[in-house]
């Protein structure tokens, strides 16, 4: 019997060794196509005193490539209703193309141009440098950005790749030259450790043929292995940042967590869904918002990656209410770690998480995101098809145990940023 989730099956191919090629079928009825190149190009690889390099490179790749300067590339994309975007994380840099299935070959060619032959035109470098400078200011001056930044700095040691958001400082951005960017690109947008994920209505042999044609010439040699510093044993300090003149205080509680390939991951995933991840049903929403009326937005987030992970429980609240909200967040985190999880509550959360998977089959872009995520972590081809069974196998006791591990309170910090004192 064919599962309704069958389109989410991945097909791994070695057609372009050492680049890993992964094919996924587009959802039935979809008329769009998506492809993503992922390179070992995260900001963990930023050169010393040149923090911000990875983000600058990632933003420059979809800007101008090959013979196409910025305006020409933008026009070409706009005319066919397509997009070429990028993002970066501590571990990787990604470039994604999306558009009509009818333009598949053209779009895959544009993606390859962006990855293989970015122009790094001086005007573009300066423009993006300015944009990143403004983002640095936002991170410092806006309560939400500031709270996130202080939390990472509190829980991860110096030189740890998860300690920053990769924006660097004004001084480090200013030090980055065009040749730094070219060097970074050559070393990190490579086949070795790279990944190409394609979601399309076309057969995989055609995808292989097209990918071989346009990605020829990708450098094989990957970057040197990275040494990730060990986490400190002492408990991090809590942080309060008074930002006068703002209307709302942002609260964060969080710390380091488990990797995506941890055997505890399915149980930890459910623990996070229970705490603050599952929309409307989660405990933070129910208690902080629905019962307490204390915050409009409250949630938790578990980010599991290759080298480690981190978790955050967050809320935005009024200047008079933040001490209460801090206590509530901490209490709910402790409760999911220390107390037995009621079976019926877990069942509702679990079935909701399982039931939503078909929603990702509405649009190619949603299904594609799942494929990129699974492929990046080297998950089996049937990862999403068997995910419901793995979630159903998790028992309440395992959720509590995973929460104890994944939401380690001995390594967590509490951060508040905003108008802590009324003017």
Partner 1 sequence: MVRRVTARPPLRRFRLRNGLHVVLAPQPASPTASVWVWYRVGSKNEWPGVTGASHWIEHMVFEGSPRYGKGEMDRAIVRVGGSLNAFTDTDYTVYFSTVPREHLAVPLDIESDRMTRALLLDGEVERERTIIHSEREGNENWPEFRVEEELLQLGFRVHPYRWDALGSRADIERLTPQELRDYYHRFYGPRNAVLVVAGGFAPVAAERTIRGRFSRLASAGDDVTVHVREPEPHGERRAELGGPGTTPYLQVAWRGPALRDPGTPSTLVLDAVLGGAVPLFAPGFRSRGPGEHPSSRLHRALIDPGLAVRAGTSWQPREYPSLFGIYALAAPGTRLDRLEERIDSVVAGLCRAGPTPTEIEDVRARIRRGAALVYEGASHTGYRLGYFATVARPEYEDELLRALLRVRAADVRERARALFRNDARLVVRYTPTNGGVDG
For partner 1, the binding residues in 324-383 under the rule CB under 8 A are 348, 351-359, 361-366
* Sequence-ordered list of residues with C-beta below 8 angstroms from that of 213, at least 6 positions apart, any chain: none
Binding residues for partner 1 restricted to 70-89, rule: CB under 8 A: 70-71, 73-75, 78-81, 83, 85
Instruction: Tell me: does residue 142 bind partner 1 (CB under 8 A).
Output: yes
The answer to whether the CB of 381 falls within 8 A of the CB of 12 is: yes
CB-nearer residue toward partner 1: 88 or 248:
248
Binding residues for partner 1 restricted to 382-421, rule: CB under 8 A: 418
User: Rounded to whole angstroms, how far apart are CA atoms 325 and 321?
Assistant: 6
Alpha helices (runs of H) in 262-363, residue ranges in sequence order: 265-272, 283-284, 322-338, 343-355
* Binding segment toward partner 1, per CB under 8 A, in 187-195, 274-282, 377-385, 405-413: 274-282
39 by DSSP, 3-state: which? strand
Neighbouring-strand partners of residue 93: 39, 88
**Exposed / middle / buried, residue 149 (Cβ in 10 Å: 0-12, 13-18, 19+):** buried
Among 167, 198, 295, 374, binds partner 1 (CB under 8 A): 295
Instruction: Tell me: does residue 246 bind partner 1 (CB under 8 A).
Output: yes
CB-nearer residue toward partner 1: 73 or 211:
73
* Binding segment toward partner 1, per CB under 8 A, in 68-76, 252-260, 331-339, 375-383: 68-76
Min dist. Cβ of residue 35 to partner 1 (A): 13
Among 171, 296, 331, 338, binds partner 1 (CB under 8 A): 296
The answer to whether the CB of 83 falls within 8 A of the CB of 14 is: no
The answer to whether the CB of 346 falls within 8 A of the CB of 396 is: yes
Instruction: Tell me: does residue 160 bind partner 1 (CB under 8 A).
Output: no
Binding residues for partner 1 restricted to 85-114, rule: CB under 8 A: 85, 98, 100-102
Instruction: Tell me: does residue 48 bind partner 1 (CB under 8 A).
Output: no
Among 219, 286, 324, 386, binds partner 1 (CB under 8 A): 286
Cα separations (Å) of 370 from 13, 111, 373, 381, 423? 18, 19, 5, 12, 46
Among 294, 371, 374, 375, binds partner 1 (CB under 8 A): 294
């Amino acid at each position: 019997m064919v599962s309704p989730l069958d389109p989410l099956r991945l097909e791994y191919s070695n057609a372009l060794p050492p680049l890993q090629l992964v094919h996924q079928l587009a959802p039935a009825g979809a008329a769009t196509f998506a492809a993503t190149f992922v390179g070992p190009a995260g900001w963990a690889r930023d050169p010393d005193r040149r923090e911000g390099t990875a983000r600058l490179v990632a933003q420059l790749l979809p800007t101008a490539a090959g013979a196409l300067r910025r305006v020409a590339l933008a026009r070409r994309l706009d005319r066919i209703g397509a997009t070429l975007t990028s993002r970066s994380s501590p571990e990787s840099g990604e470039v994604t193309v999306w558009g009509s299935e009818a333009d598949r070959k053209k779009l895959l060619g544009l993606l390859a141009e962006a990855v293989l032959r970015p122009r790094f035109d001086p005007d573009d470098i300066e423009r993006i440098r300015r944009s990143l400078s403004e983002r640095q200011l936002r991170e410092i001056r806006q309560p939400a950005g500031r709270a996130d930044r202080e939390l990472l700095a509190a829980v991860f040691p110096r030189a740890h790749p998860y300690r920053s958001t990769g924006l660097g400082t004004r001084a480090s951005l200013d030090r980055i030259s065009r040749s730094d960017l070219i060097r970074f690109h050559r070393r990190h947008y490579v086949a070795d450790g790279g990944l190409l994920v394609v979601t399309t209505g076309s057969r995989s042999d055609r995808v292989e043929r097209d990918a071989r044609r346009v990605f020829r010439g990708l450098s094989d040699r990957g970057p040197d292995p990275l040494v990730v510093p060990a986490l400190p044993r002492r408990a991090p300090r809590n942080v309060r940042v008074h930002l006068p003149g703002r209307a709302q205080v942002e609260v964060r509680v969080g710390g380091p967590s488990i990797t995506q390939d941890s055997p505890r991951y399915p149980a930890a995933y459910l623990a996070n869904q229970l705490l603050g991840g599952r929309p409307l049903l989660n405990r933070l929403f129910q208690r902080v918002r629905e019962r307490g009326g204390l915050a409009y937005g409250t949630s938790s987030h578990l980010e599991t990656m290759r080298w480690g992970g981190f978790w955050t429980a967050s809320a935005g609240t009024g200047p008079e209410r933040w001490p209460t909200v801090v206590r509530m967040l901490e209490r709910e985190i402790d409760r999911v770690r220390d107390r037995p999880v009621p079976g019926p509550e877990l069942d509702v959360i679990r079935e909701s998480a399982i039931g939503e998977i078909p929603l990702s089959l509405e649009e190619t872009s949603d299904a594609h995101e799942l494929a990129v995520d699974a492929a990046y972590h080297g998950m089996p081809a049937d990862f999403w098809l068997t995910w419901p069974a793995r979630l159903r196998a998790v028992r309440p006791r395992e959720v509590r145990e995973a929460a104890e591990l994944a939401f380690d309170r001995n390594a967590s910090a509490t951060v508040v940023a905003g108008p802590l004192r009324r003017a």
